[in-house]
Amino acid sequence: MSDFLLEVRDLQVHFPVYDTGVIRHHVNDVKAVDGVSFKVQRGETLGLVGESGCGKTTTGLALLRLIDPTGGEVWFDGAEMSALSPGELRAMRKRMAMIFQDPYASLDPRMSIGKIVAEPLAIHGLIKRGRQRDNRVGELLEMVGLSPDYRNRYPHEFSGGQRQRVGIARALATEPDFVVCDEPIAALDVSIQAGVMNLLEDLQRDLGLTYLFIAHDLSAVQHFSDQIAVMYLGRIVEVADRVGLYEQPMHPYTEALLSAVPIPNPAVERGRTRIILEGDVPSPIDPPSGCNFHPRCPKAFESCPARDPALFEIGDHQVACLLYEDDRSRSAG
C-alpha cells in the first residue's frame, strides 16, 4: 500500500468558450485547471490555497469526477479514476466525500436533516433496514455535535454553523477515506468557525481521514494542513509543509500572498512590509505567456515571459519559478 492515498498528475479542466454566431464555433477555452499535480499522504491534510478564480474548487470537483477532467490522471488508492467503469466509479465514490462551502445552498430545504444525512446511505445501498439506518443517522449527528433528536427538523431551523455540521455528517455517512473540504468555514461567523475547525480536526484524528482542505484564507489553511499547495491561475506554484511555507516561502506569489494576510496582532502588523501586487489576476481564457504570474511579479526578469517553469523540487519545497532554476541544476548535479 502506497503512502499516498491520492495522486494527481497533470490534471486539466478546460471549459469551452463559443462565439455568439448562429453556428457556434469553439473559439477558446477557459483553462480553469491547467496541469496540476500533487500527492496527498494517507491521514494527512493537503491545503490548497489561492485567490478566487484560481481553480481550486474546480480541482476539488474534478478529483471526485463531479466534473470530468479534460486531461491528466487522478490515482486514488492505486486505481486511475478515468479507467474505471461506471460501477467501479460508484464504488470508489463511496470512499470520497465533499463538504461544500455554502451551508445555505448545499442542503435541500425540503428534506429533513435525517433524510439529508441518510441519502448517501440509500444511494449506495449501505444500510437498507429502516431502524438500523435511523440508528446510523443518530450516530452521525452525534459525531458532529448535534442532537439525534434534530433528525425530523428542516435546514431552515438551523444556524449556519449547525448546517455546516449537517453537511459534515452527510459527508461522513458512507465512511469515506478521503474528504474534500471546499471552504468549509468561509460562510461562517468568526466565533462559529473555530468550532467547525476543531470538529474537522477531531474527526480526522478519530476516523483517520485524509483531507484536501480548499480555502482562500491562508491562516485557516496553515492552521489545518500538513502540506500546503499554493495555486495561481490554474497552476500550482509552490508546495511545502506548513512550517516551511510560512517561514521560507520561495515563489514570489507565495511571498506576496503571505504578506497580504493581515495578522491579528497590531504590534506585528506595524512592523511588517507588505508586498502589494499590482493589478488583477489575468483571465484564464488568455493567460500570459511563459510564467503566467510574470506581469504581476515583483521579481520578474527577461526569461519569465518566454519560458514556462515546471514544478521542481528544491529541498523540502516544490516550486515553479525560474528564479530557482540555477539552484535546481546545482542540487541535481
**Which residues are near other proteins by CB under 8 A?**
51-52, 159, 161, 189-191, 193-195, 197-198, 201, 216-220, 222-224, 242-243, 246-247, 256-269, 274, 276-277, 279-280
Sequence-ordered strand ranges (E) for 125-250:
178-182, 210-215, 227-232, 235-241
Residue recorded with cell 435541500: 108
Residue with Cβ nearer other proteins (158 or 324): 158
User: Least distance (Å) from other proteins to the CB of residue 269?
Assistant: 4
Q: What is the 3-state secondary structure (H, E, C) of 271-306?
A: HCCCCCCCCCCCCCCCCCCCCCCHHHCCCCCCCCCC
User: Least distance (Å) from other proteins to the CB of residue 209?
Assistant: 18
Task: Decide if 257 contacts 270 (C-beta within 8 A).
Answer: no
Residue with Cβ nearer other proteins (102 or 217): 217
Distance CA 324, CA 87 (A): 45
Q: Which helix (H) or strand (E) holds 9?
A: strand 4-18
User: Least distance (Å) from other proteins to the CB of residue 293?
Assistant: 12
Helix (H, G, I), strand (E, B) or coil at 211: strand
Residue with Cβ nearer other proteins (121 or 256): 256
Residue with Cβ nearer other proteins (80 or 269): 269
H helices of 23-112, in order, are 56-63, 86-93
Residue with Cβ nearer other proteins (81 or 245): 245
User: Least distance (Å) from other proteins to the CB of residue 201?
Assistant: 8
Distance CA 166, CA 145 (A): 9
User: Least distance (Å) from other proteins to the CB of residue 124?
Assistant: 33
Laid out side by side, the sheet with 26-41 consists of 26-41, 4-18, 71-76, 79-80
User: Least distance (Å) from other proteins to the CB of residue 115?
Assistant: 24
Residue with Cβ nearer other proteins (37 or 254): 254
